[in-house]
Amino acid sequence: VKVTIDKGLCSGHGRCYALAPEVFEPDEDGFSVVTQQDVPSAFEAAVRLAEQNCPEGAVTIS
Ligand code: SF4
């Protein structure tokens, strides 16, 4: 699966990079950056959890 973040929606709560630090990391302002757009299957469950827990709905999995 692939994952993207809508920068316009992300408000930097940090839940995604707390739940899936292998795939998301904070930039210098605390907003999330995707480090692996093509998600390895080992991290898929964590990324889905991050999608479900993003309060802004900014994480999209395709
Ligand atoms: S959980 Fe959502 S709002 Fe928070 S940093 Fe991640 S993408 Fe941004």
Q: What is the pLDDT of residue 19?
A: 98
Q: What is the pLDDT of residue 48?
A: 98
Ligand 1 atom with least separation from CA of 59? 7
Q: What is the pLDDT of residue 17?
A: 98
> Is the shortest distance between the CB of 13 and ligand 1 below 6 Å?
yes
| CB-side neighbour CA atoms (13 Å) of 33 | 7
Burial of residue 62, with CB atoms counted within 10 A of its CB: 0-12 exposed, 13-18 middle, 19 or more buried: exposed
Instruction: Note the pTM of the prediction, 2 decimals.
Output: 0.95
Helix or strand (DSSP H, E) at 5: strand 3-5
pLDDT in tens, 23-59: 999 999 999 999 999 999 999 999 999 999 999 999 9
CA of 52 to the centre of ligand 1 (A): 11
